Amino acid sequence: MRQGLRRVLLGRSINQHSADAYERIRDFLILHFKVTQRDDTPFWCYCSSMKVPETLRTVTGLIEPLPH
């Protein structure tokens, strides 16, 4: 395999790994705001009303339904 192609494939792999990690972190944070019953600041109200991404909906659907 040529060196240039190897670098491209490695870059794509690293980018995909990073995107997956950010998505899992995002899902964790949204889940945290959804299940916490706090509503004492505009920030918490905004975060608790965020739309649930499909990736998180799939996982939480196995546990219990979340509000949209």
The 10s digit of each residue's pLDDT in 9-67 is 999 999 999 999 999 999 999 889 888 888 999 999 998 888 888 888 887 775 666 55
Give the pLDDT confidence score for residue 56 in this predicted structure. 87
Whole-prediction pTM: 0.70
* Both tokens assigned to 55: 């990736």
- Using alpha carbons, list the distances in angstroms from residue 13 to 16, 21, 27, 29, 37: 5, 12, 21, 25, 38
pLDDT of residue 22: 96
